[in-house]
């Protein structure tokens, strides 16, 4: 590298040519040097360590963003997945997601000005924007227009990462980078959960990246439930579900063998973290993944036997409180549980039933358009009283993504959301076939693993509403970007064949 730099300096013509071809990168690089200065000027309330991170971590990342937008996208994915924005704001710092997102948009704009064209990214990006318009339009006829504005605008704003992923991630290398960003982000979060588990110091929240609260899990049985950088253990488990098949696939197929142990360690940390959330919905999501693998994925008898042994081992290692919590759920649903043994966990189940009943009634009353995006919670108590359901004494959410969409956006919303899911499934299927055609088997298996992870996420969303839409948008953006990444791999493979 040193000799190459010396060659450019000793040959002015070569240096001039490099500057001319990379003039936009150099201009952006010079502008990015101001970013740490602007950030530090706003961080008077933070420790000096944060300023150190801004300068010695933020600046190199900013430089990399303008030189390689796909690396910049991976960094933004890491920031969004770890919910670093909410953590920073909680400490009085500016949102790194907004600052870095603007930086990445600038880098992308400079690339487009320089002649780079997104090609196949236009169609999925436009459809995503249309779906956002449907969400925005539903606000117009809602009864609680002002109250729901924050939810709707936040959903659309966080959806911009989906657009960025579609426009930037156009190669197999970019796809792998974003996947590894997700894996490493999950490893970053769950490593703190592991330290809490080993030391028992759940009170130490690592500046907000590892929250935990004591909860009654069953009658006379309680423990700490971790929620990571979020405020609810169930949502934390939800965002960890897609990481499980991604880690497992990288353990088996990662071309860089040194990274396989990394994926294996993170897989163990993620499974531990899911168990410490005590989320029953997450267990359903993981079982959904396992069921889909058995139905649709070709698995050798040896791999199937290994998987069964692995699952039995996990069940044996699961915390006793988790097993009790799952058994309570089964007994409550089947009606076998004695009413005198009611616990806080059972009240939670009854509450969710009531919330789902309210969602169905809202949909029945407003079947075409719904009550308006973000309006379920504000209508909940009125509908709950009309149906003579248990009094929760507060505004509640639907606790089901699909019932929430039905209640708030009606058939129009369900149709648009279903079309988006269909387009995602179609993109994943096309990408897998194209990767196989190009001979990129590791990318094909990674696309399958990603699809399995998203499926588990969607299954678990049967029991959780849309509280953190940023994660759905990340997974949607990756899925919709895969066909163009696969096509680029086919073109590259064809180029290699011609050169031979």
16: pLDDT strictly greater than 80:
no
- Amino acid 458: pLDDT: 96
255: enclosing H helix or E strand: none
Residue 264's nearest CA partner among 254, 273, 279, 255 is 254
- Amino acid 58: pLDDT: 62
Q: Which of these ranges, 62-76, 162-176, 204-218, 304-318, has the smallest mean pLDDT?
A: 304-318
Give me the residue label for tokens 């039905």. 406
The larger pLDDT score, comparing residue 14 to residue 147, is at 147
pLDDT (tens digit, 9 = 90+) per residue, 291-310? 888 887 776 676 667 667 76
- Amino acid 429: pLDDT: 94
What is the mean pLDDT of the segment spanning 311-337?
Answer: 65
Helical H runs in 114-199?
A: 122-138, 145-158, 160-168, 172-199
Quickly state the pLDDT bin for 113 (edges 50, 70, 90): confident
Backbone torsions φ then ψ of 218, nearest 5 degrees? -160, 180
Helical H runs in 366-468?
A: 376-386, 401-437, 441-460
> Quick one: what percent of the chain has pLDDT higher than 70?
73
- Amino acid 33: pLDDT: 47
* pTM score, whole prediction: 0.84
User: Which pair of tokens denotes residue 414?
Assistant: 């369900």
pLDDT (tens digit, 9 = 90+) per residue, 458-469? 999 998 888 899
Quickly state the pLDDT bin for 207 (edges 50, 70, 90): confident
The larger pLDDT score, comparing residue 180 to residue 6, is at 180
78: pLDDT strictly greater than 70:
yes
What is the mean pLDDT of the segment spanning 72-78?
Answer: 89
Cβ contact 391:384 at 8 Å = yes
Q: Please tell me the distance from the alpha carbon of residue 447 to that of residue 175, in angstroms, as a whole number.
A: 9
The larger pLDDT score, comparing residue 334 to residue 294, is at 294
- Amino acid 63: pLDDT: 67
Taken in order 197, 200, 205, 206, the sign of the CA dihedral is negative
- Amino acid 96: pLDDT: 80
What is the mean pLDDT of the segment spanning 190-197?
Answer: 94
Q: End-to-end alpha-carbon separation of the chain, Å?
A: 29
Q: Which of these ranges, 117-126, 143-152, 252-261, 420-429, has the smallest mean pLDDT?
A: 117-126
Quickly state the pLDDT bin for 270 (edges 50, 70, 90): very high
What is the mean pLDDT of the segment spanning 245-262?
Answer: 92
Give 212-226 as a DSSP string: EEEEEEETTEEEEEE
Q: Please tell me the distance from the alpha carbon of residue 487 to that of residue 174, in angstroms, as a whole number.
A: 13
Domain limits of the chain?
Answer: 2-117, 125-499
Residue 470's nearest CA partner among 47, 86, 20, 8 is 86
Cα separations (Å) of 481 from 166, 174, 440? 5, 10, 16
What is the mean pLDDT of the segment spanning 195-212?
Answer: 91
pLDDT (tens digit, 9 = 90+) per residue, 373-412? 889 988 888 888 887 776 766 778 888 999 999 999 999 9
Q: Please tell me the distance from the alpha carbon of residue 212 to that of residue 210, in angstroms, as a whole number.
A: 7
- Amino acid 310: pLDDT: 67
144: pLDDT strictly greater than 70:
yes
Quickly state the pLDDT bin for 108 (edges 50, 70, 90): confident
- Amino acid 59: pLDDT: 64
Quickly state the pLDDT bin for 499 (edges 50, 70, 90): low
The larger pLDDT score, comparing residue 221 to residue 344, is at 221
- Amino acid 293: pLDDT: 86
What is the mean pLDDT of the segment spanning 116-130?
Answer: 82
User: Which pair of tokens denotes residue 463?
Assistant: 């029991």
- Amino acid 42: pLDDT: 45
What is the mean pLDDT of the segment spanning 258-278?
Answer: 93
- Amino acid 387: pLDDT: 79
Cα separations (Å) of 298 from 295, 303, 435? 8, 10, 17
- Amino acid 265: pLDDT: 94
**Highest mean pLDDT: which range of 81-85, 347-351, 496-500:** 81-85
Cβ-based neighbours of 480, under 8 Å, separated by 6 or more: 124, 125, 128, 162, 165, 166, 423, 424, 427
What is the mean pLDDT of the segment spanning 22-43?
Answer: 48
- Amino acid 407: pLDDT: 92
- Amino acid 421: pLDDT: 95
The larger pLDDT score, comparing residue 384 to residue 260, is at 260
Quickly state the pLDDT bin for 34 (edges 50, 70, 90): very low
pLDDT (tens digit, 9 = 90+) per residue, 417-458? 999 999 999 999 999 999 999 888 899 999 999 999 999 999
51: pLDDT strictly greater than 50:
yes
- Amino acid 237: pLDDT: 95
């Amino acid at each position: 590298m040193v000799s190459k730099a010396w060659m450019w300096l000793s040959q002015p013509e070569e240096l001039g040519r490099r500057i001319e071809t990379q003039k936009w990168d150099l201009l952006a690089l010079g502008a990015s040097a101001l970013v740490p200065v602007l950030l530090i000027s706003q961080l008077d309330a933070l420790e000096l360590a944060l300023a150190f991170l801004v300068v010695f971590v933020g600046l190199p990342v900013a430089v990399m963003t303008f030189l390689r937008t796909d690396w910049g996208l991976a960094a933004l994915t890491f920031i969004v997945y770890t919910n670093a924005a909410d953590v920073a704001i909680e400490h009085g710092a500016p949102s790194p997601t907004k600052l870095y997102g603007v930086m990445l948009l600038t880098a992308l704009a400079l690339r487009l000005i320089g002649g780079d064209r997104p090609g196949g990214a236009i169609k999925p990006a436009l459809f995503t924007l249309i779906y956002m318009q449907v969400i925005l339009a539903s606000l117009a006829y809602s009864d609680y227009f002002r109250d729901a504005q924050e939810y709707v605008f936040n959903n659309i704003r966080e959806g911009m990462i989906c657009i960025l992923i579609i426009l930037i991630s156009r190669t197999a290398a970019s796809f792998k980078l974003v996947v590894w960003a997700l894996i490493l982000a999950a490893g970053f979060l769950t490593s703190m959960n592991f330290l809490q588990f080993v030391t028992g110091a759940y009170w130490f929240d690592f500046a907000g990246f590892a929250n935990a609260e004591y909860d009654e899990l069953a009658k006379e049985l309680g423990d700490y439930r971790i929620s990571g950088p979020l405020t609810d253990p169930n949502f934390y488990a939800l965002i960890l579900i897609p990481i499980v098949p991604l880690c497992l696939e990288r353990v088996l197929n990662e071309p860089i063998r040194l990274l396989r142990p990394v994926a294996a360690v993170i897989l163990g940390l993620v499974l531990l973290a899911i168990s410490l959330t005590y989320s029953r919905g997450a267990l359903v999501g993981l079982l959904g993944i396992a069921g889909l693998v058995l139905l649709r994925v070709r698995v050798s008898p040896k791999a199937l036997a290994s998987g069964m042994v692995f699952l039995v081992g996990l069940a044996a290692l699961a915390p006793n409180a988790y097993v009790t919590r799952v058994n309570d759920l089964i007994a409550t649903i089947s009606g076998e549980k004695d009413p005198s043994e009611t616990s806080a966990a059972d009240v939670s189940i009854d509450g969710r039933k009531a919330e789902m009943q309210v969602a169905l009634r809202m949909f029945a009353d407003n079947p075409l358009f719904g009550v308006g995006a973000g309006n379920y919670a504000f209508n909940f108590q009125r509908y709950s009283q009309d149906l003579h359901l248990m009094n929760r004494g507060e505004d509640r959410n639907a606790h089901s993504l699909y019932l929430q969409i039905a209640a708030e956006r009606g058939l129009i919303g369900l149709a648009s959301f279903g079309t988006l899911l269909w387009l995602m499934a179609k993109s994943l299927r096309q990408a897998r076939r194209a990767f196989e055609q190009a001979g990129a088997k590791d990318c094909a298996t990674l696309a399958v693993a990603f699809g399995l992870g998203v499926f588990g996420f969607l299954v678990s969303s049967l029991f959780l509403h849309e509280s953190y839409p940023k994660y759905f948008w990340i997974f949607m953006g990756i899925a919709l970007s895969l066909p163009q990444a696969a096509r680029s791999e086919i073109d590259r493979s064809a180029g290699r064949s011609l050169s031979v």
